[in-house]
Amino acid sequence: MTDVPVSSRATQPHLDRKAPPPLPEGGLRVMALGGLGEIGRNMAVLEFDGKLLVIDCGVLFPEADQRGIDLILPDLGVIEHRLDDIAAVVLTHGHEDHIGAIPYLLRMRGDIPLVGSRFTLALVRAKLREHRLDPTSVEVAGGDDHLAGPFRCEFIAVNHSIPDALAVAVHTPAGTLVHTGDFKMDQLPLDGVLTDLGAFARLGAEGIDLLLSDSTNAEVPGFVTSERAIGHVLDDVFDRATQRLIVSSFASHVHRIQQVLDSAETHRRKVAFVGRSMVRNMGVARDLGLLRVAPGLMVSLDEATAMPPEQVVLVSTGSQGEPLSALGRMARGDHHQVTIEAGDTVVLASSLVPGNETAVYKVINGLARLGATVVHKDTARVHVSGHAPAGELRTLLNVAKPRYLMPVHGEWRHLRAHAALAEETGMARERVILAENGIVVDLLDGKAAIVGSVPVGDVYVDGLNVGDVGEESLQERRILGDEGFVALTVVVEPSTGTIVRPVHLSARGFADDPAVFDEALRLVEENLRRTLEDGETDPHRLSQVIRRTIGKWVSDTYRRRPMIIPTVLEV
Amino acid sequence: MTDVPVSSRATQPHLDRKAPPPLPEGGLRVMALGGLGEIGRNMAVLEFDGKLLVIDCGVLFPEADQRGIDLILPDLGVIEHRLDDIAAVVLTHGHEDHIGAIPYLLRMRGDIPLVGSRFTLALVRAKLREHRLDPTSVEVAGGDDHLAGPFRCEFIAVNHSIPDALAVAVHTPAGTLVHTGDFKMDQLPLDGVLTDLGAFARLGAEGIDLLLSDSTNAEVPGFVTSERAIGHVLDDVFDRATQRLIVSSFASHVHRIQQVLDSAETHRRKVAFVGRSMVRNMGVARDLGLLRVAPGLMVSLDEATAMPPEQVVLVSTGSQGEPLSALGRMARGDHHQVTIEAGDTVVLASSLVPGNETAVYKVINGLARLGATVVHKDTARVHVSGHAPAGELRTLLNVAKPRYLMPVHGEWRHLRAHAALAEETGMARERVILAENGIVVDLLDGKAAIVGSVPVGDVYVDGLNVGDVGEESLQERRILGDEGFVALTVVVEPSTGTIVRPVHLSARGFADDPAVFDEALRLVEENLRRTLEDGETDPHRLSQVIRRTIGKWVSDTYRRRPMIIPTVLEV
């Protein structure tokens, strides 16, 4: 069937929901506030001798049923009372799901030192400027050591879909923990930076007590295709394109963009960046020497649109179908500068992040409808993943030889597949720790074990609102979004038991024609009058009459259950 | 890059939006009410000499932003005034996107003859019984001829992911139109029914003027893997499973279920069907001899749950992540009869229909969290598609040699990819007709051309409500679902210009704590009082004051735009 054992039979220690005991002296505690049981908001908190070390602090993007939500943060409330104990935040790389929540953490304590690579810190600084925050930072590179409180952090270069990614080995008297961050093992990386297997092997020989390793692609068999392979595909697309060419990708994928620039140079097309984050990040990458730009290659979008279409390539955001992105607007035919013509070529040189399928195909269909040739991951190899698949995860396990493995960065299916891979390589089942967010793992006397859990919630960012929108509001949005509402207001005179003003109805999202409610309104008034005649004037009871009457009518007539909001006002 | 040319440069005749002229005498008119520019609600309407022939009449499943909607129907309003002209409805096969809207059409005229194969009609009849409708039907098989008004229909056996599928050649004095229905070319079909290439070749030799052909997989290179290959994978899963085994698939995929039954027999497991549609459809298939069931193989779910887990396999619905399905409940741990145990095996032997990704992965993760081994299309070949990919579409074009091709059954990306395949096989660009729903194509004097279009809309089924919920209600649901609402009611005494009752606020979906509105309420009352003091008592103007005040406050404070519902009542 496949070379990937899809799951393991590891037992279910994660169902243990008791509060953890105090951390014993000499023990190292590990807890994830995000990234376990989900893809995103990666954040691990380590504790030793009263001090905390945070590894990554990212955001999670909402699912379709978390309506109106912009971002989901790790539950920082768990460490709120211990902010002064944080020795540092180590950042493995500059993706949003690893750095996106930093502004919210720094708002709570602005001088927490951030430790990361040059490109990572440059992206973080650009982000923090928008939040008017100026961080304290320490720049490190693969091979560097940095002491943060009792944590000696040793950094290891890894290869990922963004330059300058790092893994980190954290040495404490309790033992050594290694966190891979996100990684893969491209053996022909464009920038020559390989995942440093030698360092993992040396650490393995010295003894890794607990390995936290990226599980995102644990279900995918084999080994990653080199990023370099995409260059040939892009060249082929450039060869065939006779009109305008637009390439869309992630705004942080410097290597992918580099290949577009290289193809453009070869094919004598000028390049314009489109989209705020693309312009910003590629500026940073260029300043740091990570993006090589041939002299005269770049033009502004204004210049590009004035040139013959066959002489330019636009490099754009919007590869995830974002409706407000440049590409989203082009697909609907309402971009103010770029109009898609029959015969144009658009390349979506990116993965399709789960949950974005509908939006992405909507963009592809919009472009196809306008006559563009759309090249995307279903039709050509214009993307390779940034995460190690099964073959590479096995390799790392065999090289690093950890005593314990805790799969991280994955939904349950990925964590369990990673556990199965570990068992295959010979790890005993009880040495694989399957945990989810909030589960507390202690490393003590060379043994790692789940000791309890702390409750962690979802912190929603909703406009400027951080944390005020909770599950209750979301549940209301689900009902309102699926069913609409019917609000009925009546003014009564309690002393005489009479209705002063006829029942006023507002309904939204229920039926286009408000006349459907005529019959229902008659019923409500009739029932209200009868109740009042019986001497009942309590507004709460009258509200119940309204709710029951309209609820039954809607259910009988339409088999629907809109939200019903009765209001009884007394004069 | 791939052997599939992803797109064609066919011009954009579909942008022509003028009303069509009357159909010239001797002409054949073709118009799709569904299935062009979308996957679903397939329905083509043919007209000749004042009579209509309908080919398929299916439903479309809503997208995530069409909230609360159960189904989307083709816009039957277009043919409403011509119901008596309908000679017949030809049904190519029994999938919902081909038969689902039949009840709504028959409600308009109950005696329209339905023409289809034995299994198709059996499924339609079962569906119509639930709607208390008793259809007039004509059973046909591959090779049969049926005359419906001026349309001589010749049926051709095709292979698809449901038994008893047909293509149809419609012979009229204007020429011959062939509609493939949905098809693929599995050369080792489980039931021995091949797509009848001989018939397509003969019709091609006689002359096919216009071919309407399934485009669903036009972007997929190569040829379909035989359904038979899945049998080996299932056997492998059965070999490895030591506890309970649950296989989920489409409730109409008789061949897939047959293979599960075969594997179960080999591995001495009893089988129980779970889920209403699975039980119903497999009953029909068994009655018609399409599903072979070994004596003593089947047990009830009650019997199955009482047996040792390693002796049963449950065959269940829910492969698309439906939260209320049996599998959806098991994944959340709240099925009343089946509890997932660590070590159980669950197979999702189906495709992942676009738009269902989030729901399906939620089910997979839920099962994985409970300790099940989950085998799905990402980890093993447990599904092959029912639609012809590029290689087979080219083959059909070469065999059938149509004068004109109109790609059907696909989103724009599929239609355009199909057009590109046709151009590759040597068809002139102007002989490929790219149309979307409502576009009218006339075949006259051997020439097919777009002559105009009629407006077609989306008819939403929402509970018992058919058509009352329109774009306006959906737009309100979107706003309510994303932002919630704030309703403010105030009672004023216009003669004195005073507020009789303080402003009453109801908000939902906005913030869990209603105290966030205290400040806003103060502002509203202040502005209202000032307006009343200025002598303004018009309820509409007072409503505007409320709307503006609260709108500005919410926008300034939260950068959100909830729906605002002001109500001013006078006493």
Nearest to A559 among B463, B512, B516 (CB): B463
A197 and A56 part of one domain:
yes
**Are A243 and A359 part of one and the same domain?**
yes
B347 found inside a domain: yes
- pLDDT for residue A353: 86
| Nearest-by-Cβ selection for B485 from A6, A11, A480 | A480
Position A425 in a domain:
yes
- Final residue of a domain: which of A437, A460, A483? A460
User: Is B358's CB within 8 Å of A361's CB?
Assistant: no
Nearest CB among A64, A374, A416 relative to B368 is that of A416
Q: Do B164 and B105 fall within a single domain?
A: yes
pLDDT at A497: 86
Q: Which residue of B has its CA nearest to A64?
A: B64
Is B182 marked within a binding site?
Answer: yes
- Cα angle: B349, vertex B352, B356; to 5 degrees: 130
Residue type, A43: M
Q: What CATH number should be reported for the domain holding residue B364? A: 3.40.50.10710
| B293 and B259 housed in the same domain | yes
Mean pLDDT over the full length of chain B? 94
Catalytic residue among B387, B414, B418, B442: B387
A468 contacts in B (CB within 8 Å)? 511-513, 516
Q: Check CB contact under 8 Å for B411 and A361.
A: yes
Q: How many domains does chain A have?
A: 3
Pick B354's closest partner by Cβ from A68, A361, A413. Answer: A361
If asked whether residues B366 and B476 sit together in one domain, one would say no
Beta strands in B283-438 (DSSP E): 312-316, 345-348, 373-375, 404-408
B448 min Cα distance to partner chain A (Å): 21
Widest Cα–Cα separation across chain A: 89
Active-site residue flag, B335 = no
- Considering the candidates B196, B214, B262, B458, report the single residue annotated as catalytic: B214
Q: Which residues pair with B466 in a beta bridge?
A: B461
B299 labelled ligand-binding: no
pLDDT greater than 90 at residue B494? no
Residues of B in contact with A410 (CB under 8 A): none
Q: Rounded to an integer, what distance in angstroms lies between the CA atom of residue B101 and that of residue B43?
A: 9
- Min Cα distance B324 → chain A (Å) is 16
Domain that holds residue A321: 228-375
Residue A481 lies in a domain: yes
pLDDT score for A352 = 87
Assess whether B327 and B428 both reside in one domain: no
Q: Do residues A345 and A237 lie in contact, with contact meaning Cβ atoms separated by under 8 Å?
A: yes
Cβ-defined contact of B487 to A476 (cutoff 8 Å) = no
Q: Same domain for B72 and B55? A: yes
More confident call, B514 vs A399? A399
Is the CB of B63 less than 8 angstroms away from the CB of A373?
Answer: no
User: How many residues would you count in chain B?
Assistant: 571
Q: Which of B373, B417, B476 sits opposite A7 (nearest CB)?
A: B373
Strands B270-274 and B447-453: unpaired
Please tell me if residue A508 touches chain B, with a CB cutoff of 8 Å.
Answer: yes
Three-state SS at A98: helix
Q: Where does the pLDDT of residue B571 fall: very low under 50, low under 70, confident under 90, or very high at 90 and above?
A: confident
Task: Determine contact, residues B240/B207, Cβ cutoff 8 Å.
Answer: no
Q: Say what the pLDDT of residue A513 is.
A: 83
Answer whether A1 sits within 8 Å of B380, measured CB to CB: yes
Beta-carbon separation of B1 and A411 below 8 A: no
CB within 8 Å: A473 and B512 = yes
Interface of B with A in 438-467 (CB under 8 A): 462-465
Task: Respond yes or no: is residue B214 known to be catalytic.
Answer: yes
Separation between Cα atoms, residue B81 and residue B485, nearest integer Å:
41
Residues B523 and B556 in one domain: yes
Contact yes or no for A60/A97 (Cβ under 8 A): yes
In this structure, are A300 and A400 located in the same domain?
no
Angle among Cα B91, B84, B90 to the nearest 5 degrees reads 10
With b for 16 or more beta-carbon neighbours within 10 A and e for fewer, the A117-143 pattern comes to bbbbbbbbeebbeeeeeebebeebebe
Asked whether residue A263 is domain-assigned, the answer is yes
**Rounded CA Rg of chain B:** 28
In a domain, B311, yes or no: yes
B485 at interface of A, judged by CB pairs closer than 8 A? yes
Q: Residues A171, A179, A255, A387: which is the catalytic one?
A: A387
- pLDDT exceeds cutoff 90 at B513: no
Q: Which two tokens stand for residue A138?
A: 């320490």
Q: Do B512 and A357 touch (CB under 8 A)?
A: no
Q: How far is B303 from chain A (nearest CA, A)?
A: 26
Question: Which of B86, B95, B134 has its CA nearest to residue B117?
Answer: B95
What CATH number should be reported for the domain holding residue A135? Answer: 3.60.15.10
Which of A1, A372, A374 faces B236 most closely, judged by CB atoms? A1
Residue B6 located in a structural domain: no
For B478, the closest chain A residue by CA position comes to A481
A341 in contact with B, Cβ within 8 Å:
no
Does one domain contain both B320 and B423?
no
pLDDT at B202 over 90: yes
Instruction: Answer yes or no: do A473 and B510 touch at CB < 8 A.
Output: yes
Q: What is the pLDDT, as a whole number, of residue B394?
A: 98
pLDDT in tens, B259-317: 999 999 999 999 999 999 999 999 999 999 999 999 999 999 999 999 999 999 999 99
* Predicted local distance difference test score (pLDDT) of residue A346: 98
At B10 the pLDDT is 44
- Tell whether B325 and B398 lie within a shared domain: no
The single-letter code of the amino acid at A177 is L
Single residue among B324, B351, B375 that ends a domain in this structure = B375
Q: What percent of chain B has pLDDT over 90?
A: 88
The residues, any chain, with a CB within 8 Å of residue B3's CB and separated by 6 or more, are B221, B222, B390, B391
Is A529 within a domain?
yes
Interfacial B residues in 63-82 facing A (CB < 8 Å): 63-64, 67-68
Residues 396-435 of A with CB under 8 A from B: 411-413, 415-417
Q: In a mutagenesis test of the A interface, which of B3, B9, B434, B565 is the best target, namely the one with the most A β-carbons within 10 Å?
A: B9
Contact residues on chain B for A500, CB-CB shorter than 8 A: 571
Under-70 pLDDT residues of chain A: 1-16
Q: Is B267 one of the annotated binding-site residues?
A: no
Question: How far is the alpha carbon of A68 from chain B, nearest alpha carbon, in Å?
Answer: 4
| Mean pLDDT in residue range B234-242 | 96
pLDDT of amino acid B8: 44
Q: What are the angstrom distances between the C-alpha of A160 and each of A56, A139, A293?
A: 15, 19, 21
Give residue B512's pLDDT band: very low, low, confident or very high (50, 70, 90): confident
A534 within some domain = yes
Is this prediction's pTM over 0.95? no
Q: What is the pLDDT of residue B16?
A: 60
Q: What is the pLDDT of residues B7-45, one digit of tens each?
A: 444 444 445 678 999 999 999 999 999 999 999 999 999
Residue A249: what pLDDT?
95
Q: Does B557 touch chain A (CB under 8 A)?
A: yes
What CATH number should be reported for the domain holding residue A544? Answer: 3.10.20.580
Q: Which of residues 160-219 of A touch B (CB under 8 A)?
A: 219
Q: Are residues B66 and B192 in the same domain?
A: yes
Q: Is B111 annotated as a binding residue?
A: no
Instruction: Decide if B11 and A371 are in contact by the 8 Å CB cutoff.
Output: yes
Distance from CA of B482 to the nearest CA of A (A): 4
pLDDT of residue B64: 82
- Which of B417, B437, B462 terminates a domain? The answer is B462
How far apart (Å, rounded) are the C-alpha atoms in residues B537 and B303?
Answer: 73
CB-nearest partner of B342 from A9, A481, A511: A9
Q: What single-letter amino acid sits at A336?
A: H
Which of these, B215, B175, B208, lies nearest to B436 by C-alpha position? B215
